[in-house]
Amino acid sequence: MSSYSIDSLEQYFKVYRKSVNKPKKFWGKIAENNFTWYQKWDKVVEFDMQKAEFVWYKNAKLNITKNCIDRHLANRGDKKAIIFEPNNPDEPSRFFTYSELYTEVSKMANVLRDQGVKKGDRVCIYLPMIPELVFTVLACARIGAIHSVIFAGFSANALSTRINDCNAKVIITADGGYRGNKTVDFKKIVDDALNKTNTIEKVLLVKRTNQEIDFKEGRDIWLQPLLEQAETTSKAEVMDAEDPLFILYTSGSTGKPKGMVHTTAGYMVYVAYTFKNVFNYKENDVYWCTADIGWITGHSYTIYGPLLNGATTVLFEGIPSYPDHSRFWNVIQKHNVNQFYTAPTAIRSLAKERIEFVQDFEMDSLKVIGSVGEPINEEAWHWYNDHVGNKRCPLVDTWWQTETGGIVISAIPFVTPTKPTYASLPLPGIRPVLMDELRNEIEGNQKLGNLCIDYPWPGIARTIWGDHQRYIDTYFSKFPGKYFSGDGALRDEVGYYRITGRVDDVIIVSGHNLGTAPIEDAINEHQTVAESAVVGFPHDIKGNALYGFVVLKEVGLWRDRNNLYKEINQLISDQIGGIAKLDKIQFVTGLPKTRSGKIMRRILRKIAEGEKSDFGDITTLVNPEIVEEISKEAL
Ligand code: 6R9
């Protein structure tokens, strides 16, 4: 049991050494001592980094929901598993004990089975942050269906692309959802998406807003009446260790999203272990991760990680600014939250508000605060540390990705000394390396390079759905024998890692990964556009914002730039969703002619960052002040 929970720096170094010298023994023990299995494994790991093939816990049999729910029933049956905090603070919170969670998940699992969903089928979930979202995710896992949760900010078009990519058979959605003082028409978006798909047989509907919807007989089914009649116990499907648990789409350098596939046993062991250590969770703590379940952080650290450890996890439906900017702090006080995990964007936007918003609340319950999704700048780090953590709570800056399944570089609270803007040290089992452009490993400290990991860990994604070659090409080819993250990093004088940002064509805006290619494709759909290029530029709150360089088919067309700007943003929103939006646009006569796209982007980034451009071949039609003005107007 001793290596499951790390309590001192000395122990960390000891455990870390063990984990990298004898990874099989290390991960074997963790799996052996902390989970329930129908059948144990023949081998802890088998892998080939060239072919990107990973088998963890070979031939083991299990069901992850047995580990998330059933095994807690004996001792934690009456313990709260989920605290649901609705969007509207006047609506009462709802609580689900582990026993109630068992019942809810069983009912949902039985309904899905009755509707013909079988092991291996793909089920799309497009829901607001309500308890039914957690129940459906776990119900899929219970019956062996592969869940594919689509973030509710994605447009109908983005949703249909994802449904088609994995041939989902069923989609679960709601009539509508609440978001601050707005409602979102979930059902309408799904209806639009289904015009462009033909694999969905059934649309299962949760009632949330009671708004009117178009109901299509024979295809649409209200869940509530079915749940009321469903059996309250359910058999958990026997899953192989390597059976897929879920698909989660992430943006890449091309227009097509990558369906990252995570499998059952390795993912389970990895997220449980990292949750326990990175948040120093203790039995009666209340833990809150604000991430939407549509992202990997919500999967691993709102649902699976906490429930695997028998924790109490808060599910928040709302947004940080509603009804005012104190909402996060209010919820921490209300539910006596002990561990709080959020994104730098949220911190930066709240730090801009009056200090009373945070000072008026009693947050003594907090023990650990965390950050994820993008680099946290020094200013935001200090504000978070001073005003939320009260200089008392360790701030863990956790670096990881959809592809890594769980946190890979992070301080362990009360163990690893923290340093602002540094993710710090690798967790046990993780061997980070820095590589230069010539594919040589960079030895020593105080060095900057491409961040890779050179040995597999149980939570690593296994493939891209339907395209293993793309998985190899994206992550295992640039630096043969290593997993390449796409991020750059600095290793300081004591070996701490600081993530410097993406080195590829992905831009992280408010913590959301956006590939430049799909945005450019959307811009190019405009009838007046000849070509375009999108780059990121630093933004106070969002971290990065999008800057579009657009070449029009005819020079004179730019006179209508105000409308063009709006129409182009509308096209992007239709294709991808509201999360992708050009903050600035510049109409140019041509893109720089360079040897490679990489160099062109470097030039454009310089211009976007406001450095004076001395590249003669780019002539702007609009001077930057005017562009600023137009951008502001259109916001
Ligand atoms: C978990 C998650 C992954 C990308 C990743 C990196 C950025 C995440 C970070 C961080 C600096 C951190 N990122 N955590 N950058 N410091 N603590 O966000 O997954 O949505 O796949 O994004 O996010 O650039 O490569 P995902």
pLDDT 10s digits, 333-369: 999 999 999 999 999 999 999 999 999 999 999 999 9
Where are any strands of DSSP class E within 251-405? 258-263, 286-289, 312-316, 339-342, 368-371, 395-397
Q: Measured from the CA of 375, which atom of ligand 1 is nearest?
A: 11
297 lines ligand 1 (CB under 6 A): yes
pLDDT exceeds 90 at position 21: yes
pLDDT at 615: 41
CA distances from 57 to 18, 144, 211, 240, 633 (A): 19, 18, 47, 9, 57
pLDDT at 620: 53
pLDDT at 623: 46
pLDDT exceeds 70 at position 628: no
Residue nearest to ligand 1 atom 11, measured at CA: 375
Residue nearest to ligand 1 atom 3, measured at CA: 401
513 lines ligand 1 (CB under 6 A): yes
- Tokens of residue 185, six digits: 């028409």
Residue 558 per-residue DSSP state: G
pLDDT at 407: 98
pLDDT exceeds 60 at position 554: yes
Q: Which residue is associated with the tokens 């000891």?
A: 14
- Cα–Cα distance for residue pair 457/478, rounded to 1 Å: 19
pLDDT at 629: 47
Kindly give the distance from the C-alpha atom of residue 33 to the centroid of ligand 1, in angstroms, as a whole number: 30
pLDDT at 618: 42
Kindly give the distance from the C-alpha atom of residue 346 to the centroid of ligand 1, in angstroms, as a whole number: 15
Kindly give the distance from the C-alpha atom of residue 342 to the centroid of ligand 1, in angstroms, as a whole number: 12
CA distances from 594 to 548, 553, 597 (A): 18, 21, 7
pLDDT exceeds 90 at position 379: yes
Closest CA to 171 of 163, 183, 161: 163
295 lines ligand 1 (CB under 6 A): yes
pLDDT at 611: 61
- For the full predicted model, state whether its pTM sits above 0.75: yes
Helices (H), 198-351: 223-229, 265-278, 296-298, 305-308, 327-335, 344-351
Greater confidence (2 vs 452) lies with 452
Greater confidence (255 vs 3) lies with 255
Q: Is the distance from CB of 272 to CB of 305 less than 8 angstroms?
A: yes
237-281 confidence digits (pLDDT tens): 999 999 999 999 998 877 799 999 999 999 999 999 999 999 999
Greater confidence (586 vs 201) lies with 201
- Phi/psi of residue 400, each to 5°? -170, -175
Lowest mean pLDDT among 46-55, 206-215, 605-614: 605-614
- Cα–Cα distance for residue pair 499/439, rounded to 1 Å: 19
423 lines ligand 1 (CB under 6 A): yes
453-473 confidence digits (pLDDT tens): 999 999 999 999 999 999 999
pLDDT exceeds 50 at position 619: no
* Residue type (1 letter), 421: T
399 lines ligand 1 (CB under 6 A): yes
Residue nearest to ligand 1 atom 15, measured at CA: 374
| Mean pLDDT calculated for residue range 174-197 | 98
- Cα–Cα distance for residue pair 622/374, rounded to 1 Å: 32
pLDDT exceeds 60 at position 614: no
- Cα–Cα distance for residue pair 189/196, rounded to 1 Å: 12
**Chain centroid offset of residue 60 CA:** 28
pLDDT at 27: 98
Give helix 516-524 / helix 561-575 axis angle, nearest 10°. 130
pLDDT exceeds 70 at position 41: yes
Model confidence at 635, pLDDT cuts 50, 70, 90, reads: very low
pLDDT exceeds 60 at position 305: yes
pLDDT at 603: 82
- Tokens of residue 297, six digits: 């952080």
Residue nearest to ligand 1 atom 12, measured at CA: 399
Q: Measured from the CA of 250, which atom of ligand 1 is nearest?
A: 21
Site to substitute for ligand 1 among 301, 418, 475, 487, most atoms within 8 A of C-beta: 487
pLDDT exceeds 50 at position 593: yes
Model confidence at 605, pLDDT cuts 50, 70, 90, reads: confident
Its sign, for the CA torsion 423, 425, 426, 432, is positive
Q: Measured from the CA of 486, which atom of ligand 1 is nearest?
A: 25
| Mean pLDDT calculated for residue range 180-200 | 97
- Tokens of residue 127, six digits: 């829901």
| Mean pLDDT calculated for residue range 518-547 | 94
543 lines ligand 1 (CB under 6 A): no
205-232 confidence digits (pLDDT tens): 999 999 999 999 999 999 999 999 999 9
Kindly give the distance from the C-alpha atom of residue 347 to the centroid of ligand 1, in angstroms, as a whole number: 16
Kindly give the distance from the C-alpha atom of residue 126 to the centroid of ligand 1, in angstroms, as a whole number: 23
* Residue type (1 letter), 293: I
Strands 483-491 and 447-453: antiparallel
Q: Measured from the CA of 407, which atom of ligand 1 is nearest?
A: 1
Site to substitute for ligand 1 among 253, 296, 401, most atoms within 8 A of C-beta: 401
pLDDT exceeds 80 at position 325: yes
Kindly give the distance from the C-alpha atom of residue 394 to the centroid of ligand 1, in angstroms, as a whole number: 20
What percent of the chain is modeled with pLDDT above 70? 95
What percent of the chain is modeled with pLDDT above 90? 88
Q: Measured from the CA of 371, which atom of ligand 1 is nearest?
A: 17
Model confidence at 634, pLDDT cuts 50, 70, 90, reads: very low
Model confidence at 626, pLDDT cuts 50, 70, 90, reads: very low
450 lines ligand 1 (CB under 6 A): no
Kindly give the distance from the C-alpha atom of residue 400 to the centroid of ligand 1, in angstroms, as a whole number: 5
Where are any strands of DSSP class E within 443-482? 447-453, 463-464
pLDDT at 610: 77
- Phi/psi of residue 549, each to 5°? -105, 120
pLDDT exceeds 70 at position 555: yes
Kindly give the distance from the C-alpha atom of residue 221 to the centroid of ligand 1, in angstroms, as a whole number: 37
- Cα–Cα distance for residue pair 590/573, rounded to 1 Å: 25
* Residue type (1 letter), 151: F
Rounded to the nearest integer, the mean pLDDT of the chain is: 94
Q: Is 45 helix (H, G, I), strand (E, B) or coil?
A: strand
pLDDT at 173: 98
Q: Count Cβ atoms within 10 A of the Cβ of residue 524 and give its class: 0-12 exposed, 13-18 middle, 19 or more buried.
A: middle
